[in-house]
Structure 1
């Protein structure tokens, strides 16, 4: 029977789909036009990549641009690591023109293609580098125009063949600049260095023309009291010292070296322009060789308007058309702000990188400011998050002094105890960070170093946010209890003096502060600090309380909190040292999805009290609520996988869910030191295998990777031991293999007998020895919070205990999915008639 379940892909993994043996005619014609000498192996790799993705995903628009994207990435993948040049030299601009799309459209498609092929970090960095280099060139080109107009005079075209026009001079200086820019050392083509190089090149050409027969090209109004380079730096806010250093110690020696290597004529270092055509041709050859070897866009694209409109260097029309050429179809120039949509989003990240030296103050004119960034960019979103958090912290600091816990029902004022605990938490946080700083200083490297001022600010912000969250939770608890008709009959002293409750809020506050400030420290790093104070099984409940409370968090913040809760439910709670295993050791079985706890909560915060009652399965209500959340999360992810895998048969879905619940109720040891998604994927595959569905394990993994929580570590790093691991033994050092081998060696032997009963074989067998369990409905989560949408209207989940709540006589109740529509019409009629009172009291509408 085992042969039916084993997945052969573990040893010899087959491709996800059947790939066409031969590239299509359109595919071959496209690259034959690009370069007939392209290596056939690269063409084959590009075709396989394109054909695989085109079968899996509907590609919008022209197919040629997607073929070009496949070729672009295949060339990079075929190049051995460490090579400075790509294995295949070709013109990216020519390829884009053959596809009949704009440059911006191509890069937009390329970014989507990188997502579809699950590009590695190195490939993504390469794609970003190509785009950012073009973006920098666009910025520099716009700065070059006023510089040229100031240094050189306008010359009208002449009928004499040997006459040098302004357009030709402009083209040559730009060619000179982009050629030398390609000679800069790696990672030195940023905006600052490029702008300094432009000033050096203009100074070099200005000096060469001043001693040649072409002096008529110089502007007579040019300031001659200083050197040309000093004048240019002063006039256009360049970094004078850096520019002089670059000219003396890099540009001039580099030109001499290129002459010695016979790459450019000797005339260029003698400041002679007698053989201008030969000089320009040499620079063109040198530039094209470098440009094609790096798969970058030809930056001479900005000069195209000169070919269309003639000698318009000194016209305002030229500046508009030169930049908008990237947004058009290379024939029609669309008036579009390229800098906002492209340059700002790519250059700004590099300019603002913390490891980069900040530019001098005199260079502000060519710095891209946040005001120029498109409001839909990632940078803008990050700025809004920081601004929102600063606003919340400011509010908390203003209200903090008046927050004395007078409104809560507790004996005495717990502020002193809470302040003491918060101080202890802060010291543990500081101690952990400082220890890492000392270790990183010994290694002379650090991924996330903080100076003392930043560290103190982090701790202060975490403490402020802690009190803000605590206040909102307590206020919400009181308001919610009153809205539900409950009395505040629980003394909150035990809760406010519970270290677990306080440290849970502190963990949440610390993670939010680090996340908003884009610190590289993760949520798991924070939880490890407070392992002695609270376990993930205990503090995950705080996320629900915070989301329920009206904390004024943005959507991104709430989404982040939900992700943290899922992180706990799917992995952190299943570690060997989790208290969950001790709770399950003496209990019977986990309840099925939908079975309710027999102990209704009388108050929202009562889940943090220490009085734990037992129900029929010997599990506390807190543990049962935890399993309900896990069941609900599992149902959501399975439903998504079913849609992606196109599993529409309800019987198959019920078998998968029945097997999953069986694992949870009787074989939960499978989850120890593993991930919830690993068990889900195994359950899906083994049932689809016995149901003869043509779904490979690789298909399941492929579609899993498109889920928002997906991580490659889930299916590449799975624990392969079933015996109990010693707590002293690091689980990371134990034997680990990929998910398919875990499925074959461990999962199949454990569930094989049960699966046989779900799908028995033989002529006299009856299918489904065990009754199948239906998939739970995931449209409405009965445990999820609902936000208060008004001062007098609350929307809350319908739960077991809410049905017995004593309602105020002035309330009108409407249960979604249960109450008839006439009840809702009655409520709407009362609102529309404006009935304000009932016996002189204002109506309170409570929608449940």
Structure 2
């Protein structure tokens, strides 16, 4: 027998043994062995082989549906306990989450399955946070908790039953909590709600201990006790006490929220437990759980209930935190404690982190970071939101109605265009909350909160819009339902994130309201500006991250309205979408400028005649000089190209008919301004991590990236900005490599550095669209290298070769980032929409040897004439290919032989377009 055959027999035997111990059905067992065999054949499985078997078995069980005989309902998970599976395979939960991610990529699992793993991962993170809060709160209320494990209650019938100990009560309380939490399966990932359920649980157990007069259990120093609690003549009240407000005060809870959760979510579940006989005690006031004879029965009953639940859903057992070997099974150094929480959460992706990464853009809106726990961060977000809306009502405020009246807006228009649509959206939101098993009271509360926030933000935006453009009729604004809907959707996202409603995490809000990402992004910054000083840093940071997610990928899906706009207008260059200094403009996030009108420019898409200040006009005739009068500092040239620079003869103002290309509307300009700002920040960050500091090399990368966006726009369809960026970095580093310039970087280097970036996702480079296929085939996907070889090279090879050194290629200036606000490199201020012409103060000698330059009062006239020659041949839609391009160089050579080489590079570059 060969070593390979012996090895195969070993793993098959080990897999059979696992399936037998877990009682896996034959179909799932066969499926797991087939997938394991295929993965093992195609990939090298490092480490313990049992760890990979755990992944294969888990996937096989989770993708199997088992019908039950009694109920007829389908059960997920194949009735296999994940915790027991991991124990048999000697792998911790944290190790499992890391392994299963790699397994899903190797096995090309569906997006739906990956989402389920993400939810499971997030649920574990939330459970870890909650358990870390559970123990100190429990010890605040009760006394006598020790590190001794709970002894088994295997007593003989003759042996007298003893009252429960504090340790037994501790385990019972956590078990009851996870049982009740299981009833809210869809919202078990929501930190704020589940924390308030935990407070409700502790309140309930305290009430039972209080009514049983268990002085031995309750901490006499607890603030929630009556002053005479320890006196012998203390008289118990008729109703159990409530300590929700006390717990909220001392343990970072929200009293109103917790009280609502207790009354409308916790109590109904406990009542059903009594009705079904799961809990034994006084069913009238729901007490008596700790009585001798009841407690042990209740412990056993709850454990049986929870074990059934875990097997039915195929998830991890949350009682794992109570065990002696919790640290080994979870994967932490010590038994889970407050000190370990950051390590546990940081092991996961961004969706599970207690403190998510800060996006690279939008940081100017973030307040100074405060040290907070995960729970305090979450409750702080809700508390600040509640404070903002304390006096608000889910309808237009009297101030807004008065403002409408002053602007001539009738009550009928307000009712038809504002109130009625809002009521429809509130109903849509309500229906989606019902899917999360929220109580009717919780649904009503959150719908009201979204609506109150909506009217508050809407009023702020409308007042700002009217202040900037008082001549604008409000009827125009109120007729734009899409604009109002995006405001409502963004307010919904704020509330959902503040409460940590993971099951409705972004971009689910777009599905709720039937919105496109392209329309949604337009309102995000306006909403942030309206509430930036009122909401928590975490919520603002989330909205920044959402904006990045929209710009990097969601607006580029095949069904995006962006593609329809691009069929009418070509993609503008970065230099065409930035506004220069103007008294009527305000600075945006990159230190550049935005048009005066916010909503109009975003939603009504007027033509962008005033999108940027022009120092040079584009109605230039062949042979006409470029210079026009501006600020009395630059003189206008005569129509004779031989005129000296200081001639001030006016030029003709006639324009060449049918030669002006279509301008992008303001909506598109604003979009690409945001998109290019994000792109250049991402590029600079990646270059820094790769130690690519040469400015000219960065310009080459940017030029390549910009070209792909402008002229190979289909590369972005159903793909991600970072995919195209990494390819641009790789190809430019490759073609720019020479013995004297060691800049070449491998894809492994690039992807390693990319992973270090905030909010980076391995899925971006592991699963890239290769071929969309047709209706009969599923899309072909592969890793980034596969995409580069099969798709990217075919589109970009000819252009990339311009940077090999055999050709001189003009470089696009980098858009000004925050650190470079107000200036352009290398060209300064762009002065023409149709030509790459820039002007800047002469502070240092220019060192851009690829560019044609002219220094006033210093350069010879031939340099200016060469620029005029170049532009005169571009009029009419750009440099002509072939012979015409050669003619440009020939004329330049006659005028100024010294600049012919540079001009050749410019012509060659344009011929590649």
TM-score, normalised to structure 1, is: 0.50
1:502 is aligned to 2:484: yes
Distance in 2 of aligned mates of 1:610 and 1:290? 59
Of 721, 724, 731, which aligns to 2:771? 721
Query: Deviations 1:322-348 (Å, cap 9, x if unpaired)?
Result: xxxx9xxxxxxxxxxx8xx7899999x
Residues 480-629 of structure 1 aligned to structure 2 (within 5 Å): 480=468, 488-519=470-501, 520-531=503-514, 535-549=516-530, 552-554=533-535, 555-593=537-575, 596=578, 601=595, 603-607=597-601, 608-609=603-604, 611-612=606-607, 616-629=661-674
Name 2:885's counterpart in structure 1: none
Q: Distance in 1 between matches of 2:387 and 2:772?
A: 50
- TM-aligned CA deviation for residue 605 of structure 1: 4.2
Deviation string 1:183-214 (CA, Å, 9 cap, x unpaired) is 98996899979989x99xxx9xx9xxxxxxxx
Cα distance between partner residues in 2 of 1:417 and 1:770: 57
Q: Deviations over 1:129-162 (max 9, x none)?
A: 78876876666678775599xxxxxxxxxxxxxx
Alignment pair present for 1:738 and 2:726: no
Q: For the Cα contact (< 8 Å) 1:405–1:415, is it kept in 2?
A: no
Who is 1:661 aligned against?
A: 706
Equivalent pair of 1:682/1:747 in contact (CA under 8 Å)? yes
Deviations 1:30-74 (A, max 9, x none): xxxxxxxxxx969x99xxxxxxxxxxxxxxxxxxxxxxxxxxxxx
Conserved 8 A contact 1:469-1:546: yes
Give the whole-Å Cα distance in 1 for the aligned partners of 2:549 and 2:524.
Answer: 12
CA distance in 2, matches of 1:126, 1:459: 28
Aligned to 1:402: 399
Counterpart CA distance in 1 for 2:386 and 2:121 is 36
Q: Does 1:465 align with 2:453?
A: yes
Q: Which residue of 2 aligns with 1:261?
A: none
- Unaligned runs of 5+ residues in structure 1 are 1-10, 20-39, 46-78, 91-106, 149-172, 207-220, 224-237, 255-285, 302-325, 327-337, 348-373, 441-445, 482-487, 760-765, 784-797, 802-816, 821-848
**Offset of residue 658 of structure 1:** 0.9
Instruction: Indicate yes or no: 2:456 matched with 1:417.
Output: no
Quickly say closer, same or farther: Cα 1:713–1:416, change in 2 above 3 A: farther
Structure 2: runs of 5 or more not aligned? 1-40, 53-80, 106-116, 147-163, 181-197, 217-229, 233-280, 303-321, 346-369, 585-594, 610-659, 738-742, 823-827, 832-839, 844-913
- 1:675 corresponding residue in structure 2: 720
- Tell me the CA shift for residue 681 of structure 1: 1.8
What's the secondary structure of 1:736's corresponding residue? Answer: strand
2:798 equivalent in structure 1? 753
State the alpha-carbon separation in 2 of the partners of residues 462 and 529 from structure 1. Answer: 14
1:711 aligns with 2:694: no
Say which of 274, 297, 301 aligns to 1:249.
Answer: 297
- Please give the alpha-carbon distance, in whole angstroms, between the structure 2 residues aligned to 1:631 and 1:717: 24
Q: Given the superposition, is the C-alpha separation of residues 769 and 425 from structure 1 closer, same or farther in structure 2, using an over 3 Å criterion?
A: farther
Distance in 1 of aligned mates of 2:328 and 2:85: 14
Which of 812, 835, 844 is equivalent to 1:773?
812
> Cα–Cα, structure 1 residues 131 and 756, in superposed 2: closer, same or farther, change >3 Å?
same
TM-aligned CA deviation for residue 124 of structure 1: 8.0
Counterparts in 2 of 1:701 and 1:140: CA distance versus 1, 3 Å:
same
| Residues in 1 aligned to 2:173 and 2:88: alpha-carbon distance in whole angstroms | 15
Higher mean Cα deviation, 553-562 or 574-583? 553-562
Whole-Å separation in 1 of the counterparts to 2:565 and 2:166: 73
- Secondary structure of 1:85's match? helix
Paired with 1:387 and 1:511, the residues of 2 have a C-alpha distance of 16
Query: Which whole-Å CA distance do the structure 2 matches of 1:664 and 1:676 have between them?
Result: 9
Contact 1:644 1:703 in 2 (8 A): yes
1:596-652 per-position Cα deviation (integer Å, ceiling 9, x unaligned) = 579985644442446435784432122122112111110011111112222212232
Residues 331-370 of structure 1 aligned to structure 2 (within 5 Å): none
Question: Is residue 684 from structure 1 mapped to residue 729 from structure 2 by the alignment?
Answer: yes
Residues 779, 495 of structure 1: CA spacing in aligned structure 2 closer, same or farther, 3 A cutoff?
Answer: same
Q: 1:491 to 1:435 in 2, by over 3 A?
A: closer
Q: 1:740 to 1:145 in 2, by over 3 A?
A: same
Q: CA deviation at 1:434?
A: 6.5
Aligned to 1:699: 749
Residue of structure 2 in register with 1:474 after alignment = 462
Please state how far the C-alpha of 1:89 moved relative to its aligned partner.
Answer: 11
Q: Secondary structure at the match of 2:495?
A: helix
Contact 2:145 2:166 in 1 (8 A): no
| 2:372 pairs with one of 376, 392, 396 | 376
Q: Give matches, 1:93-492, under 5 Å.
A: 241-244=288-291, 247-249=295-297, 376-397=372-393, 400-404=397-401, 406=403, 410=407, 412-413=408-409, 415-426=411-422, 428-429=424-425, 432=428, 446=435, 448-480=436-468, 488-492=470-474
Q: Give the corresponding residue for 2:873.
A: none
Aligned counterpart for 1:648 among listed residues 693, 701, 706: 693
Aligned residue for 1:212? none
Matches within 5 A, 1:60-71: none
Q: Secondary structure at the match of 1:403?
A: helix
Contact 1:131/1:346 (<8 A) preserved = no
Paired position in structure 1 for 2:678 = 633
Change over 3 Å in CA distance of 1:585–1:409 after alignment to 2: farther
Deviation digits for residues 270-307 of structure 1 (CA, Å, limit 9, x no counterpart): xxxxxxxxxxxxxxxx99789877778888x9xxxxxx
**1:671-710, Cα deviation, whole Å (9 max, x unpaired):** 1122222211221222233345453323333333333332
Q: Number of residues paired by the alignment?
A: 535
| Aligned residues of 1:178 and 1:287 also touching (Cα < 8 A) | no
3-state SS of the aligned residue for 1:776?
Answer: coil
The answer (yes or no) to whether the contact 2:468–2:596 under 8 Å persists in 1 is: no
Distance 1:629 1:89 in 2: 45
**1:11-50 residue pairs with structure 2 within 5 A?**
none
Superposition CA RMSD, Å:
6.1
User: Are the equivalent residues in 1 in contact too, given 2:575–2:830 (CA < 8 A)?
Assistant: no
Instruction: Please state how far the C-alpha of 1:588 moved relative to its aligned partner.
Output: 4.2
Kindly tell me: are residues 513 and 121 of structure 1, through their superposed partners in 2, closer, same or farther at Cα, counting changes over 3 Å?
closer
2:814 and 2:808 map into 1 onto residues whose CA distance is 18
Superposed CA deviations along residues 738-759 of structure 1, whole A, max 9, x for unmatched, are 3332222111211111111222
Decide whether the 8 Å contact of 1:642 with 1:648 is kept in 2: yes
Contact map agreement 1:590 1:617 (CA 8 A) in 2: no
Distance apart, 1:416 and its partner CA: 3.4
Question: C-alpha separation between the residues in 1 aligned to 2:142 and 2:735?
Answer: 68
Secondary structure in 2 matching 1:719 = strand
